Amino acid sequence: MPSDLSQNMLKAATEALELLAEQSRSASSGEKSPFSLTALMGPASEALSDLLKFYANQSEKWNDEQALLSKELSKVGKNFLEKLLGMPTTDVISANDFDRRFKDPLWSESPVFDTIRQGYLVISRWLLRLAEEADGLEPHQYNLARFYAKQITDALSPSNFLLTNPEAIRSTIENNGTNLLSGLKNLKNDLSREGGILNVTQTDTSAFSVGGNIAVTPGKVIYQNDIIQLIQYSPTTEEVHEIPLLIIPPWINKFYILDLTQEKSFVKWCLEKGYTVFMVSWVNPDEKLAQKSFADYMDEGILAALDAVQKQTGAPQVNTIGYCIGGTLLSATLGYMAAHKDKRVKSATFFAAQSDFAEAGDLRVFIDERQISTLEQQMKSHNGILGAASMVQVFNLLRSNDLIWNYVVRNYLLGQDPAPFDLLYWNADATRMPEKLHLYYLRECYVKNALSKGEMVLNDTPIDLSKVKTPVYIQSSRNDHIAPYRSIYRSTHLYGGPVRFIMAGSGHIAGVVNPPAAKKYQHWLNKELPEDADQWLDGAKEHKGSWWPDWEKWLRRKSGKKIPALDPQTGPLPPLEDAPGSYVKLLANI
């Protein structure tokens, strides 16, 4: 009824104002900002200021761009009048068919919403083109300008606002405004969940339980120290290859992305292929571990895990996998081991892992000395720990339409509760970062690119990857926005031993976790390793489906003869607890 709609709209407006006032009081009293992303406003403002300065010195080009924008907006206005009169029209600019923001029919059918949509798309394209063509800027500022231009256009989409989103308006009328009250409730819950930092809920977290319905492959924790637990999974075949497999996942996220569900589990698939699989489970660190270093993570992480695997199996060598930053650490560890004539690693596989950061992609926009210094102060103010929410927000910004604004509309404007999605549950199950480790990684890898240059030093040992003779398999993904394939490809010429490089379809997660049974995506193979990644791709052959079988064929030849399966309950190291262990269940509450 109209009276219900009016009452609910008034109630929603009142609650919204109260929430805004509450957050303003928190900010002025020195409490956490409700939006930790405000720390990014400095670099964003500076980048866009540099963009304006660039065009101030390019007056002819600026005038041409202004004239072009004016002409296109005039066409949008002309379309509006023609549509009102029922005349046939042609879009000045069409939304991408895959752009979910404008899927509602009213965006095209209504003269008003069609004009709003096209006007927005014209202005967005114009601003993004300005940033793209400002190639006279210093490279880092150029990347900042392009990145933040995209963030601005994403944030200002008319789909993100109640009065310019036809679906939200229709929902408000049909539900008498109760959707807005539900949306405010969702917003309050999101603010309270992270202690005042806004992290938009992407999935129903109550639908999942680590060790309950995800990360359920049977096994035992057979070793632990302050930094890791080591899981040995129970064999599923009577015989196994004599060379065991040790997986080093990233510590920025939790390991169970590789054991998400029975259908998607890389661990389960490896067990079925006859491998004895060990998994490092990194601790979710608190302030007691704030001064643990990159070298500590090597010593107490990879090297300690190698010791334990060998003691448990008696194997003289171990095959290894490093995923993302876990792969970066594995690469550095291989260099360290080569310097010390340590040949315990039989082979090394890298999933979406960079060792050369010269083309490290969009994450570089967050990493310069000024931003790192700001981050350092933030961590010191929190006892040497970077809160988990900060890392989640950074990764979400890389795909802000899909991972932020889509859920702002769903959760807050439409008042819907997120549906269960195992991958997004894992994404939200975030970890903290210790100060010394994280700052070292950012400065040595992203800023100095020290690992690829032979300038990294661990435990007084210079790391030279050219001395690594271990056979290496390098996986990349074509649409990876965190570790771009061009960046990963640069690693192929760093090592001194045989290298196989492949590129998978999809991105940083789905490109890696793609079981053959799913029959999804594709991968490219090329035995040659030319200097340039695009040359490699030009000569590569596309194959349908998962790359896992190609990797397993490669690994099989390095895994030795078959022996009776090794039961984690009967080895020299007594089990400490059942998989997935307790470290992975530690939640990040800051």
Tell whether omega for the bond before 418 is within 30 degrees of 0, i.e. cis: no
Q: How far is CA 319 from CA 67, 86, 200, 300, 343, in A?
A: 61, 68, 39, 18, 11
Catalytic residue, from 257, 324, 430, 488: name it. Answer: 324
The amino acid sitting at 416 is: Q
**How many whole angstroms separate alpha carbon 57 and alpha carbon 65?**
14
Q: Where are the alpha helices (DSSP H) in 57-177?
A: 59-84, 106-109, 111-132, 139-155, 166-174
**How many whole angstroms separate alpha carbon 542 and alpha carbon 503?**
9
* Separate counts of helices (H) and strands (E) for the chain: 22, 17
**If you count them, how many residues does the chain have?**
590
Q: Are strands 277-282 and 245-248 parallel, antiparallel or unpaired?
A: parallel
| Strand residues in 387-539 grouped as ranges (E) | 433-434, 457-458, 461-462, 472-477, 499-504, 522-525
Q: Is 327 exposed, middle or buried (0-12, 13-18, 19+ CB in 10 A)?
A: buried
Instruction: Of 188, 180, 181, 143, give the one whose Cα is nearest residue 162.
Output: 180
Q: Are strands 522-525 and 499-504 parallel, antiparallel or unpaired?
A: antiparallel
Four-point Cα dihedral 379, 384, 388, 392, nearest 10: 40
Q: Quick check: is 324 catalytic?
A: yes
Q: How far is CA 285 from CA 135, 302, 380, 475, in A?
A: 41, 17, 15, 29
| Strand residues in 181-248 grouped as ranges (E) | 219-224, 228-233, 239-241, 245-248
Q: Is 511 exposed, middle or buried (0-12, 13-18, 19+ CB in 10 A)?
A: buried
Beta bridge partners of 318: 345
| Token output for 56 | 């101030």
**How many whole angstroms separate alpha carbon 490 and alpha carbon 486?**
7
Q: Which residues contact 504 (CB under 8 A, 6 or more apart)?
A: 475, 476, 477, 478, 511, 512, 514, 521, 522, 523, 524, 546, 547
Q: Is 24 exposed, middle or buried (0-12, 13-18, 19+ CB in 10 A)?
A: exposed
Active site residues: 324
